[in-house]
């Protein structure tokens, strides 16, 4: 049987294409809870260094990202997680979803901002902490003084003026509660939360909502996270971010490699880049606390305290993750059922 | 001439057996259709849900724990409050939505109110925008700084001497307002289909016998739409019962069952507790099933084969009253959309009130911008076309075929199930089911690779999730229309040994055309706006407008988020206009029989 010359050409082309394909752009699927407008800015230096790696993002709020990763557990889609809550990643680790990996330069990352095992399962980029978003105009309107501490928040004049996220729905809510329990100790901590509850207008399901409500003047004081208030101020809202004197609870935006059948080497390249100096310098524009010391050219962004690390409550994230179910059950028992909005 | 006789006899025999085999073929063909619907619903509803709900019997690590999740749920103090809150807001919202929806549908079908087309379009207004906009509009109107609360920036004080009025939005009040608004369009949809199909002869007879208007209403109108009323009640109650969008945005700390699911799944990633609460959420629905089923059995057709269509005469007083009522409701919805538009134009609410279009430039924000918008447009279009076929097809096959009753009943119940599930639950169930590389049945040591795995992360799966999520309302709308067509049509068709396909294409589908078109429109609108199911299913290559809205809002870009909502609203309005124009000609032709 005579072979068709075209067929031969086609076969040759196929072989050629197959040989060529490894040189084509590799594709990475990254799940992230970073803010949507941060991603294109952050990723620029990665694109410059690695034009051959095509990165795709699925971005959602922390709860959705973690839930999605857990739901996809038996057939993971993502190659890695970038900039997502450390407490959430510990949750993923507990079901064996993370592949330990020590990215280049991990030694520079402070011990409290990475997994304690070696190699670590997760490594943080930056920290976010409890911050009070206070609407100056509304406060003036109501003749209320600017609160500066947790102790201020339970004063009777703030009754009905506070909003905070429900820790059972929101990571921000939980890091605040965990921070308070660490600060005051368990017994005093719950006593404080009882008093705080008396002043609380309502609990929201999203961590950024209290700050947005403060920005809109709905309620003058929203317990939220620092970055949120700082950013709203940048956008022109009359919001001052107050970091409570006693200290702030915190969590970090961290990265991890997902354990799956064929893990791509490019995922490690990405994780190396994620804590490299050019990336850190970008995080530094939004956050006051980076996971590394001595990032070249770092200055604390406007709106944060001068010594932001001193602001953090001493918390071990693994501990915060471990006690979470118990704390939430207690929280629901105390405040979950009495949920009529207070007038 | 015996040969000829023989030939004749053979001819008769072969004709007889031909007819018999045709009959058998028809039976099997119908069976195949019922089977097809069965497979469709089993694969897209029963199996994914079974996969998710069975998790309620396991703990987080996957160990079997029996009913422990339920005992935990029932021992928690918050349970009773969530459950009773859910009942309270759903009943109250339904108590508003049902009479209002009925009155609105009544005005449009049984009076000669002018501007019917506009009113009909307005009735869908609350569904035109994503949840986020509802929450914000309510806050802009009734929040602490809202237009109503603050008396329109003091304008009310200056003009009428009344200061603002605080309704105490956050909590039950806000949820009830939002849920009643959501429930209004489907209630209206179901009831207007029910009311538009009636036999004028009954009214003529009643009038001739001197029955009073009230008596006619009580003894003809209401019984005639009994099935529609039950369906509408069921739809309104369940949609309020399962929605978590409104409680999340304006509910404050008023906890309901749906937000409990949110807490467990999104807040704590505890799927097994989430599944347990979902099962509890299903119980009232199961009861509603039962009620529905009992009433359905007693339903007889309102439109007999000999029916004469009802056409309301002119009655100035009645029509004026109807106009006032419809205009009032429409005005409320217009204000609602208007506030949304206003919010998208204002610079910084409520401090810098300059207007401008800067929020419509999505380059500065994330979420996918216009690409996401066009993806949503495609998704909604596919969902509308496929949804019409599947929802009407399912209703037709299950309602009009008499073969395989058990299988049909099974399918009917599966058709009602999606209504009872929050989108969140459907989204998660679909991840578990479609992303699984295969299923192992441990009892018999069998492993089946998942043939549907390839759908994961594709447009097709997004469309399928919409088809299922919005199936029930469409199925009920189609069912209401079909039930009111006398089964005599089928008997006559059968006795003429015409194939059912001819009856379907010549009579049933044309008569039900308004219902079919409404269904397509409903699918389009809901697919444009829905978030809770697709947020788990979209992929990096397929940004979706509603997800972009959520992401922008997350990033604090509230005004651009509302701007995107307004794009969705405008798209839905344009879709409505196109559908109106394209179909009015068609309707004139195919529904000429409804006019005298």
Planar angle of CA B556, B560, B566, nearest 5 degrees: 135
Per the listing, tokens 């945005």 go with B249
ipTM of the complex: 0.81
- Yes or no: say if A249 and A315 are a contact pair by the CB < 8 Å rule: yes
Question: Out of A85-99, A300-314, B249-263, B280-294, which region has the weakest mean confidence (pLDDT)?
Answer: B280-294
A34 vs A96: CA distance, rounded Å: 23
Q: How do residues B500-553 score in pLDDT, each as one tens digit?
A: 778 788 878 877 887 888 899 989 999 999 888 888 888 888 889 988 888 888
Domain that holds residue A95: 5-127+251-307
Tokens of B382: 């596919």
Percent of chain B with pLDDT over 90: 22
Cβ separation B144–A219 shorter than 8 A: yes
Q: Are residues A118 and A24 in the same domain?
A: yes
Among A333, A336, A342, the residue to mutate for chain B (most B Cβ within 10 A): A336
* A19: confidence class by pLDDT, cuts 50, 70, 90: very low
Q: How do residues B409-438 score in pLDDT, each as one tens digit?
A: 889 888 888 888 888 888 888 988 998 888
Cβ separation B557–A201 shorter than 8 A: no
B503 vs A262: CA distance, rounded Å: 56
**Which residues contact residue B268 at a Cβ distance below 8 angstroms, ignoring those fewer than 6 apart?**
A168, A324, A325, A328
**Which residues contact residue A180 at a Cβ distance below 8 angstroms, ignoring those fewer than 6 apart?**
A150, A189, A192, A193, A249
Q: Are residues A73 and A95 in the same domain?
A: yes
Per the listing, tokens 């004063």 go with A155
Q: How do residues A255-292 score in pLDDT, each as one tens digit?
A: 999 999 989 999 999 999 999 999 999 999 989 999 99
Neighbours of A123 (CB within 10 A): 26
Q: Is residue A314 assigned to a domain?
A: no
**Which residues contact residue A317 at a Cβ distance below 8 angstroms, ignoring those fewer than 6 apart?**
A86, A87, A90, A112, A251, A252
Q: What is the pTM of this model?
A: 0.84
**Residue B63 to chain A, least CA–CA distance (Å):** 13
Mean pLDDT over residues B183-195, rounded? Answer: 88
Cβ separation A218–B540 shorter than 8 A: no
The predicted structure's pLDDT at residue A216: 87
Residue B4 has pLDDT above 60, yes or no: no
* B304: confidence class by pLDDT, cuts 50, 70, 90: low
* A340: confidence class by pLDDT, cuts 50, 70, 90: very low
CATH number at B28-55+70-302+319-594? 1.10.3720.10
Domain limits of chain B? 28-55+70-302+319-594
The predicted structure's pLDDT at residue B71: 86
Of B267, B365, B558, the CB nearest to A168: B267
Query: Which chain A residues touch B254 with a CB distance below 8 Å?
Result: 339-341
- Yes or no: say if B429 and B274 are a contact pair by the CB < 8 Å rule: no
Mean pLDDT over residues B87-97, rounded? Answer: 95
B78 touches chain A (CB under 8 A): yes
Neighbours of B41 (CB within 10 A): 24
Q: How do residues A303-337 score in pLDDT, each as one tens digit?
A: 898 888 889 999 999 999 999 999 998 998 898 76
Note if the bond before A237 is cis, omega within 30 degrees.
no
The torsion angle over the Cα atoms of residues B121, B193, B178 and B553, rounded to 10 degrees, is -60
Cβ separation A216–B350 shorter than 8 A: yes
Q: Are residues A13 and A35 in the same domain?
A: yes
Mean pLDDT over residues A201-210, rounded? Answer: 90
**Residue A5 to chain B, least CA–CA distance (Å):** 36
**Residue A6 to chain B, least CA–CA distance (Å):** 33
> In B388-470, which ranges are continuous DSSP H helix?
393-400, 405-416, 423-435, 459-469
Q: Among A254, A47, A186, A60, which residue's Cα sits nearest to residue B367?
A: A60
Query: Which chain A residues touch B457 with a CB distance below 8 Å?
Result: 77
Q: Report the range out of A3-17, B60-74, B374-388 with the highest average pLDDT.
A: B374-388
Q: Report the range out of A11-15, B109-113, B377-381 with the highest average pLDDT.
A: B377-381
The predicted structure's pLDDT at residue A242: 95
The predicted structure's pLDDT at residue A341: 44
Among B residues 435-474, those touching chain A with beta carbons less than 8 Å apart: 435-437, 453, 456-457
B556 touches chain A (CB under 8 A): yes
Planar angle of CA A219, B243, B290, nearest 5 degrees: 150
Crossing angle for the helix pair A209-216 and A226-234, to the nearest 10 degrees: 30
Q: Are residues A268 and A281 in the same domain?
A: yes
Q: Are residues A15 and A114 in the same domain?
A: yes
Query: Which chain B residues touch A71 with a CB distance below 8 Å?
Result: 271, 428, 431-432, 435, 536
Q: Which helix (H) or strand (E) holds A83?
A: strand A80-85
Residue A20 has pLDDT above 50, yes or no: no
- Yes or no: say if A172 and A252 are a contact pair by the CB < 8 Å rule: no
Per the DSSP assignment, residues forming a β-bridge with A85 are A253
Residue A189, helix vs strand vs coil: helix
Query: Which chain A residues touch B145 with a CB distance below 8 Å?
Result: 216-218
Q: Are residues A71 and A158 in the same domain?
A: no
The sign of the CA dihedral B297, B300, B305, B310 is: negative
Q: Is residue A312 assigned to a domain?
A: no
Instruction: Tell me what the pLDDT averaged over chain A comes to.
Output: 89
**Residue B362 to chain A, least CA–CA distance (Å):** 10
Which residue has better confidence, B280 or B11? B280
A228 vs A133: CA distance, rounded Å: 8
- Yes or no: say if B384 and B516 are a contact pair by the CB < 8 Å rule: no
The predicted structure's pLDDT at residue A337: 63
* CATH code of the domain containing A117: 3.40.190.10
Q: Is residue A324 assigned to a domain?
A: yes
Q: Is residue A342 assigned to a domain?
A: no
The predicted structure's pLDDT at residue B21: 76
Q: Is residue A341 assigned to a domain?
A: no
Residue A18 has pLDDT above 70, yes or no: no
Question: Out of A72-76, A159-163, A305-309, B60-64, which region has the weakest mean confidence (pLDDT)?
Answer: B60-64
Number of domains in chain A: 2
Q: Are residues A122 and A133 in the same domain?
A: no
Which residue has better confidence, B165 or A128? A128
* A1: confidence class by pLDDT, cuts 50, 70, 90: very low
Residue B64 has pLDDT above 60, yes or no: yes
Cβ separation A71–B262 shorter than 8 A: no
Question: Out of A142-151, B113-122, B291-300, B553-562, which region has the weakest mean confidence (pLDDT)?
Answer: B291-300
Query: Which chain A residues touch B266 with a CB distance below 8 Å?
Result: 61, 63-64, 67, 169
Question: Out of A3-17, A40-54, A210-224, B282-296, which region has the weakest mean confidence (pLDDT)?
Answer: A3-17
- Count Cβ neighbours within 10 Å for each residue of A304-320 and write b for 16 or more, e otherwise: bbeebeebbbebebeeb
Q: Are residues A173 and A272 in the same domain?
A: no
Which residue has better confidence, B116 or B164? B116
Q: Report the range out of A193-197, A233-237, B271-275 with the highest average pLDDT.
A: A193-197
Q: Are residues A107 and A52 in the same domain?
A: yes
Of A205, A338, A340, the CB nearest to B259: A205
Cβ separation B77–A341 shorter than 8 A: no
- Yes or no: say if B432 and B289 are a contact pair by the CB < 8 Å rule: no
> In B454-512, which ranges are continuous DSSP H helix?
459-469, 471-483, 488-495, 500-503, 509-511
* A157: confidence class by pLDDT, cuts 50, 70, 90: very high
* B296: confidence class by pLDDT, cuts 50, 70, 90: low
Mean pLDDT over residues A144-155, rounded? Answer: 96
B287 vs B285: CA distance, rounded Å: 5
Instruction: Tell me what the pLDDT averaged over chain B comes to.
Output: 83
Q: Which helix (H) or strand (E) holds B348?
A: strand B346-348
Among A27, A75, A210, the residue to mutate for chain B (most B Cβ within 10 A): A75
Per the DSSP assignment, residues forming a β-bridge with B447 are B440
B584 vs B23: CA distance, rounded Å: 38
Among B residues 204-263, those touching chain A with beta carbons less than 8 Å apart: 248, 252-255, 259, 262-263
Q: Are residues A242 and A258 in the same domain?
A: no
Q: Are residues A328 and A180 in the same domain?
A: yes
Query: By 3-state DSSP, what share of chain A in percent is helix, strand and coil, each rounded to 5?
Result: 45, 20, 35
Tally A–B CB contacts below 8 A.
170
Percent of chain B with pLDDT over 70: 91
Tokens of A267: 């995922």
Cβ separation A37–B364 shorter than 8 A: yes
Residue B11 has pLDDT above 80, yes or no: no
Q: Are residues A192 and A259 in the same domain?
A: no
What DSSP state is assigned to residue A260?
A: -
Q: Among B179, B180, B185, which residue's Cα sits nearest to residue B120?
A: B185
The predicted structure's pLDDT at residue A21: 46
Q: How do residues B200-211 score in pLDDT, each as one tens digit?
A: 788 888 888 888
Residue B441, helix vs strand vs coil: strand
Strands B446-449 and B438-441: antiparallel
The predicted structure's pLDDT at residue A275: 96
Chain B residue whose CA is closest to A70: B269
Q: Which helix (H) or strand (E) holds A58?
A: strand A53-59
Residue A206 has pLDDT above 70, yes or no: yes
**Which residues contact residue B20 at a Cβ distance below 8 angstroms, ignoring those fewer than 6 apart?**
none
The predicted structure's pLDDT at residue B85: 92
Chain B residue whose CA is closest to A321: B268
* B235: confidence class by pLDDT, cuts 50, 70, 90: confident
The predicted structure's pLDDT at residue A10: 57
**Residue B473 to chain A, least CA–CA distance (Å):** 28
Query: Which chain B residues touch A332 with a CB distance below 8 Å?
Result: 76-78
Among B residues 322-341, those touching chain A with beta carbons less than 8 Å apart: none
């Amino acid at each position: 049987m005579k072979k068709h010359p075209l067929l031969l050409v086609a076969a040759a082309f196929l072989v050629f294409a197959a040989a060529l394909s490894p040189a084509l752009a590799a594709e990475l699927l990254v799940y992230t809870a970073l803010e949507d407008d941060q991603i294109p800015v952050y990723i620029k230096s990665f694109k410059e260094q690695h034009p051959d790696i095509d990165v795709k993002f699925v971005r959602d709020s922390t709860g959705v990202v973690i839930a999605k990763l857990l739901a996809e557990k038996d057939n993971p889609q993502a190659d890695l997680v970038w900039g997502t809550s450390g407490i959430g990643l510990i949750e993923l680790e507990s079901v064996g979803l993370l592949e330990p990996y020590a990215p280049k330069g991990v030694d520079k990352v402070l011990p409290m901002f990475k997994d304690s095992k070696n190699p670590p399962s997760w490594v943080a980029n930056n920290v976010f902490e409890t911050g009070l978003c206070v609407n100056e105009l509304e406060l003036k309107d109501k003749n209320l003084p600017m609160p500066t501490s947790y102790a201020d928040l339970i004063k009777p004049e703030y009754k009905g003026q506070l909003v905070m996220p429900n820790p059972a729905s929101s990571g921000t809510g939980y890091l605040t509660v965990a921070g308070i329990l660490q600060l005051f100790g368990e017994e005093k901590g719950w006593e404080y939360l009882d008093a705080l509850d008396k002043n609380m207008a309502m609990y929201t399901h999203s961590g950024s909502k209290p700050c947005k409500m403060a920005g809109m003047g709905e309620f003058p004081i929203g317990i939220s996270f620092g970055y949120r208030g700082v950013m709203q101020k940048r956008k022109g809202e009359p919001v001052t971010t107050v970091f409570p004197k006693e200290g702030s609870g915190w969590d970090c935006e961290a990265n991890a490699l997902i354990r799956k059948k064929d893990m791509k080497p490019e995922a490690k390249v990405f994780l190396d880049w994620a804590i490299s100096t050019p990336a850190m310098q970008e995080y530094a524009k939004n956050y006051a606390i980076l996971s590394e010391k001595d990032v070249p050219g770092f200055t604390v962004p406007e709106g944060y305290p001068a010594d932001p690390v001193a602001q953090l409550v001493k918390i071990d994230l693994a501990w915060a993750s471990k006690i979470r179910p118990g704390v939430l059950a207690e929280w629901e028992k105390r405040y979950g059922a009495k949920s009529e909005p207070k007038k | 001439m015996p040969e000829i006789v023989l030939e004749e006899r053979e001819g008769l025999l072969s004709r007889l057996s031909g007819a018999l085999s045709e009959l058998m073929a028809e039976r099997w063909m119908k069976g195949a259709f019922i089977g097809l619907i069965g497979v469709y619903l089993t694969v897209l509803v029963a199996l994914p849900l079974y996969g998710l709900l069975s998790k309620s019997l396991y703990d987080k690590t996957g160990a079997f724990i029996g009913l422990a999740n339920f005992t935990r749920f029932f021992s928690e103090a918050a349970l009773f409050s969530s459950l009773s809150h859910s009942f309270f807001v759903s009943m109250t919202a339904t108590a508003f939505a049902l009479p209002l929806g009925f009155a609105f549908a009544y005005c449009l079908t049984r009076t000669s109110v002018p501007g019917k087309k506009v009113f009909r379009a307005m009735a869908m207004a609350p569904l035109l925008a994503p949840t986020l906009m509802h929450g914000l509009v309510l806050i802009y109107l009734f929040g602490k700084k809202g237009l109503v609360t603050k008396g329109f920036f003091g304008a009310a004080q200056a003009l009428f001497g009344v200061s603002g009025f605080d309704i105490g939005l956050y909590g039950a009040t806000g949820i009830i307002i939002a849920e009643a608004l959501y429930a209004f369009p489907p209630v209206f949809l179901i009831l207007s289909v029910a009311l538009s199909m009636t036999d004028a002869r009954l009214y003529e007879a009643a009038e001739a016998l001197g029955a009073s208007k009230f008596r006619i209403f009580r003894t003809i109108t209401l019984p005639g739409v009994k099935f529609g009323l039950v369906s509408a009640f069921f739809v309104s109650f369940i949609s309020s019962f399962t929605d978590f969008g409104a409680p999340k945005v304006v509910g404050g700390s008023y906890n309901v069952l749906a937000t409990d699911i949110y807490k467990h799944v999104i807040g704590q990633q505890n799927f097994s507790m989430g599944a347990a609460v979902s099962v509890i959420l299903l119980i009232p629905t199961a009861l509603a099933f039962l009620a529905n089923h009992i009433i359905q059995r007693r339903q007889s057709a309102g439109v007999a084969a000999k029916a004469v269509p009802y056409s309301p005469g002119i009655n100035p007083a009645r029509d004026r009253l109807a106009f006032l009522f419809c205009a009032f409701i429409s005005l409320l919805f217009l204000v609602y959309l208007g506030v949304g538009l206003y919010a998208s134009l204002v610079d910084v609410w409520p401090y810098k009130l300059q207007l401008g279009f800067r929020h419509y430039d999505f380059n500065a924000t994330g979420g996918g911008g216009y690409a996401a918008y066009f993806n949503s447009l495609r998704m909604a279009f596919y969902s509308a076309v496929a949804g019409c076929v599947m929802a009407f097809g399912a209703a037709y096959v299950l309602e009009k075929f008499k073969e395989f009753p058990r299988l049909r009943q099974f399918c009917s119940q599966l058709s009602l199930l999606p209504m009872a599930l929050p989108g969140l639950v459907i989204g998660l169930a679909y991840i578990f089911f479609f992303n699984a590389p295969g299923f192992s049945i441990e009892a018999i040591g069998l492993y089946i690779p998942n043939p549907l795995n390839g759908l994961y992360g594709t447009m097709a799966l997004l469309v399928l999730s919409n088809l299922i999520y919005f199936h029930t309302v469409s199925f009920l709308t189609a069912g209401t229309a079909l039930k009111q067509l006398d089964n005599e049509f089928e008997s006559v068709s059968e006795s003429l040994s015409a194939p059912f396909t001819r009856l379907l294409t010549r009579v049933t589908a044309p008569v039900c055309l308004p219902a079919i078109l409404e269904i397509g429109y409903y699918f389009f609108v809901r697919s444009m706006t829905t978030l809770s199911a697709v947020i788990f299913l979209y992929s990096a290559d397929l940004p979706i407008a509603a997800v972009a809205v959520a992401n922008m809002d997350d990033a604090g870009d509230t005004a651009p988020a509302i701007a995107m909502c307004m794009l969705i609203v405008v798209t839905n309005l344009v879709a409505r206009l196109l559908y109106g124009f394209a179909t009015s000609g068609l309707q004139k032709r195919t529904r000429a029989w409804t006019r005298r």
